[in-house]
Amino acid sequence: MPHGTLELREERAVVEKQRVVAGHVTVRRERRVRVEHVQIELAEEVLVIETMSGTGRVMVNGVSLEPGAVQEVILSQEQAKVVKQLYVVEDVEITKVAHVVLQTVPVELAYEELVLDQQDGEGHLTAINPLEEESGGSTVEKS
């Protein structure tokens, strides 16, 4: 018939995790400016007036041309107008990924064992550990 119950206890590791902010990132686009020099070929249409000797007098814009002289009058010319257009040159994908890192942490855990104290015939106190006796260990003598 049992006279009571003795509970043997042990510590067990319980892991509690908490999220800690390790850094802050701001993602933004910044506009940069560079100067490019663009070469453009522009055409112009010119009327060429050349006077020959003995053909009479030629007047251009109120000026009399001497025989053998050449006068050019611009009829039309191209003018450049530079316009800017936006093009997508790169797609940047931004994602957030969680990596799992395995960590090993040493934890010292205590546990309780059943120990019997017994007095021998001479009054010496002997501590008997049942687990040590099973494994071939010795008893410890206390006085």
pLDDT at 129: 60
Of 80, 107, 101, 117, give the one whose Cα is nearest residue 11: 107
pLDDT at 136: 47
Confidence check: pLDDT of 123 > 80: no
Q: Which two tokens stand for residue 22?
A: 């390790």
Regarding pTM above 0.75, the answer is: no
For 91-95, which contacts have Cβ atoms below 8 Å and span 24 or more sequence positions? 94/27
Q: Which two tokens stand for residue 140?
A: 């410890």
pLDDT at 141: 44
Q: Buried b vs exposed e over 89-113: b needs ≥16 C-beta within 10 Å?
A: eeeeeeeeeeeeeeeeeeeeeeeee
Q: How do residues 47-90 score in pLDDT, each as one tens digit?
A: 988 887 776 677 777 878 787 788 888 999 999 999 999 999 99
Alpha carbons 97 and 99: distance in angstroms, whole number? 6
Q: What percent of the chain has pLDDT over 70?
A: 84
**Bridge partners of 45?**
76
Element (H, E) at 48: strand 44-50
- Average pLDDT across the chain, whole number: 84
Q: Residue 83: count other Cβ atoms within 10 Å of its Cβ.
A: 4
Alpha carbons 106 and 100: distance in angstroms, whole number? 19
